[in-house]
Amino acid sequence: MLLRGVFVVMQLNVHDIHVFNNVGKWAVEELMENTVPGDKGLVLKSKAKHHAISAPLKKPFLFKAEPLIIQYEVNFQAGIDCGGAYLKLLSHTDDLKLENFFDKTPYSIMFGPDKCGEDYKLHFIFRHKNPITGDYEEKHAKRPDVDLKKFFTDKITHLYTLVLNPDNSFEMLIDQTIVSKGNLLEDMTPPVNPPKEIDDPNDRKPEDWDERPKISDPDAQKPEDWDEDAPAKIVDPDAVKPEGWLDDEAEYVPDPSAEKPEDWDEEMDGEWEAPQIPNPKCETAPGCGVWEPPMMNNPSYKGKWKPLMIDNPNYQGVWNPRKIANPNYFQDLEPYRMTPIIAVGLELWSMSSDILFDNFIICTEKEVSDQWAADGWKLKKMVATANEPGVLGQLTIAAEERPWLWIIYILTAVLPLGLIVLFCWPSKKTDDAAAYKKTDAVQPDVREELNQEDEQEDVIDKKECNLAKEDEKASGDDENIGEGSQEEDDDEEEDEEGSKSKSASEDEMKEADEGAGSGDCPTKLIRKKKVRKE
């Protein structure tokens, strides 16, 4: 284990604690996991025992114009049930003897992690000397706002740092990240400086002091017609027994199908009785048994009479003792100037073993502690990161501790696949054209085009009819014209049939024209249009 800094820390020595019957053992060992070759640390080895170990500084540290930086590493290799891993900076006193280091040994600062049950803490406590009485009082920093649980449970080496500045500001860091900060004058409990005034301990509340804001009206009288004995509920006088009510039938009757068990012993079990079942005769009736009228709220009920409350004319307010000047008042604007420190030590009780400590440093420059962290803690972090399981391994480990996570994993995996299949899998498209080929219906996507073709053919047919009429008038021969027009129509139909021989509708048009005879041109146009639509 390495300990160094601006003030050089000498070797650590294990000391017996004479006031304790059980003294825990220490060892210098490598990490149990994520070992860095050649690196060893100080390991607390015993369970449910007191441990104490300390080392002197080469020279005392005086709290003057320079910051104080405390930094060290902790690894709860076997987890931690209940116990601390905090560091104490021991006060410079004339009677300090490290071989007698125990829990009552005076210290100036205590800093580090502590846990019991589900209460996870990061302590920063300093002992402040009252300049009037000379007594010391512990001042506790506020709790960090972050969740500290993972630092106690992940079995990874973590770096704890306290930066204390001459302007009374402080910062607590874990793994070089600030988890809490504040000021010695504002963020400690109890406050460093006491109040200027305090309650007079000798002041007593007068016997006639009235603190009641409201009192009963002394002039109020109970009305003569107020009946305090009236019941809250009365029988409904308007209630009538429903027709068909079976007064002589019980609501429950013995089960006629029940039989006494063969092993029933009347001497031991008593007289056997069949179990009760709902009376079948009551199923269709409004009710069975003795009818009793229902109860209703008593309109005359008023309850106990109480006088109205009025403002107390003698109300004097809540009594408080008078204030007097605090005889112990002082104002210390430089609580940073603590008792000088002369040694560093670990004095711990733990229900868990194998807590590893390493790379202690006490210095005055943050750059020095950062470099110290780069040379030590960051190497451990790199090794631990390299040995971490992959994402799949981490998920498996988490599920082993919390089996319900398997359900979330399955849902997380199946849900995206289902969505992909639902939205991205090619669906079987219906061949509309093939479907329509099975019928004579016109396909929706070509209906508009056919309508346009029909309109064009209508225009052409009308022109042909007009030409036929003109030819008929010119020749004057109705029969010849009729035959000629008939022949022309037949020729035109034959031409259309030749160009559209593959269309069934064209054949139907021809048959329609032939079946109708020669007819007139408008009649043919109507027939042809009808056949095309069909």
- Write the DSSP assignment of 271-335 as a string of letters: S--PPEEE-GGGSSSS-BSS--PPEEE-TT---S--PPEEE-TT------PPEEE-TT----S-T
Separation CA 45–CA 518 (nearest Å)? 122
Q: Would you write out the chain's pLDDT as a tens digit for each of its 534 residues?
A: 344 333 333 333 333 333 344 588 999 999 998 888 889 999 999 998 889 999 999 899 999 999 999 999 999 999 888 999 999 999 999 889 888 898 899 999 999 999 988 999 999 999 999 998 899 999 999 999 899 999 999 999 999 999 999 999 999 999 999 999 999 999 999 999 999 999 999 999 999 999 999 999 999 999 988 988 889 999 999 999 999 999 888 889 999 999 989 888 888 888 989 999 999 989 889 999 889 999 999 998 989 999 999 999 999 999 999 999 999 899 999 999 999 999 999 999 889 999 999 999 999 999 999 999 999 999 999 888 887 766 666 667 666 667 777 788 787 877 777 777 777 766 555 555 554 444 555 555 545 555 666 666 666 666 666 666 666 555 555 444 444 444 444 444 445 444 444 444 455 455 444 444 444 555 555 555 554 555
Q: In angstroms, how far is the first alpha carbon of the chain from the final one?
A: 102
Separation CA 257–CA 227 (nearest Å)? 56
416 HSE (CA, 13 A, CB side): 5
Domain ranges, ordered by start, for the chain: 6-197+333-387
Which CATH class for the 6-197+333-387 domain?
Answer: mainly beta
Separation CA 526–CA 461 (nearest Å)? 10
Separation CA 101–CA 97 (nearest Å)? 7
Separation CA 406–CA 352 (nearest Å)? 31
Dihedral of CA atoms 115, 121, 124, 127 in degrees, nearest 10, equals -60
Separation CA 334–CA 354 (nearest Å)? 40
Separation CA 8–CA 61 (nearest Å)? 11
- Give me the pLDDT at residue 410, please: 83
Separation CA 246–CA 276 (nearest Å)? 18
Answer whether 196's CB lies under 8 Å from 182's CB. Answer: no
Positive or negative CA dihedral for 490, 494, 500, 504? positive
Separation CA 45–CA 53 (nearest Å)? 13
Helix H or strand E segment including 506: helix 504-516
- Give me the pLDDT at residue 409, please: 75
